[in-house]
Amino acid sequence: MNTERTLVLCKPDTVQRQLIGRVISRLEEKGLKIVGMKMLRVDEDLARQQYQEHVEKSFFSDLVSFITASPVVAIAAEGNNAVEVVRRLLGATNPQDAAAGTIRGDFGLNLTKNMVHGSDSLGSAKRELALFFSQEELQDYPLELDAWL
Ligand code: IDP
Ligand code: MG
C-alpha cells in the first residue's frame, strides 16, 4: 500500500452546473476516502498560489478570472497511489481530448472550464492541501462498512 492524500477541486463550472455530487461520486465509487471537504471562494491571492507554475502563461488571467468567479468545493482524497489515480479519473487537461469515462471526458468541452483540479505530484498535493486545509480540517478515520450496516 502506498497511501497518499491529494487535493481535488470542483471548479466553479462544476458548482454552477450542479455537478458537485457527480464528482464526489466518482471519487467514492473508485474507493478513495474523503478526508476533508469544504466550499470556499478562491480569491486572487489563493489563485496565484494554487497556480504559481502558470503565472507567466498567456491563459493565466483567464484562469484566475474563472477560478475566482464562483465558489469551489475543495476535497482532500486519500487512497492507494491517490495522486496518480485521481489524475486518471479526471482525464486529460483539455476535455475535448479526455477519454470517455473520465470526469473531463464525460462532462465538458471547454479547456479552461474543465470541471476539476487534481494535484499533479505528491509534492504538489502536500503544498496544495496546505493551501486549502488546516491540519485540524483533515480527518483520520477508518472506512469500516460492515460495522455500519
Ligand atoms: P491540469 O489542470 O490538468 O493540471 P494545467 O496544465 O496545470 O492542467 O493547467 C491548469 C488549468 O489551467 C487547467 O486545468 C485549465 O483550467 C487551465 N488551462 C490549461 N491550459 C490552458 C490553455 O491553454 N488555455 C486556457 N486554459 C488553460
Ligand atoms: Mg496542473
Residue spans of the domains in the chain: they are 3-42+72-128
Output the CA 51–ligand 2 centroid distance in Å: 8
Q: What is the dihedral of CA 119, 125, 130, 134, to 10 degrees?
A: 100
Predicted pLDDT at 102: 98
Predicted pLDDT at 77: 99
Predicted pLDDT at 98: 98
Predicted pLDDT at 19: 98
Query: In the annotation, is 54 catalytic?
Result: no
Output the CA 145–ligand 2 centroid distance in Å: 34
Ligand in nearest proximity to the CA of 90: 1
Task: Name the CATH topology of 3-42+72-128.
Answer: Alpha-Beta Plaits (3.30.70)
Over residues 25-71, the pLDDT tens digits come to 999 999 999 999 999 999 999 999 999 999 999 999 999 999 999 99
DSSP state of 34: E
Helix axes 82-90, 122-132, angle to 10 degrees: 80
Over residues 81-110, the pLDDT tens digits come to 999 999 999 999 999 999 999 999 999 999
Predicted pLDDT at 118: 98
Q: Cα–Cα distance between 96 and 93 in angstroms, integer?
A: 9
Q: Give the burial class of 11: count Cβ atoms within 10 A of its Cβ; 0-12 exposed, 13-18 middle, 19 or more buried.
A: buried
Predicted pLDDT at 13: 98
Query: pTM of the full predicted structure?
Result: 0.98
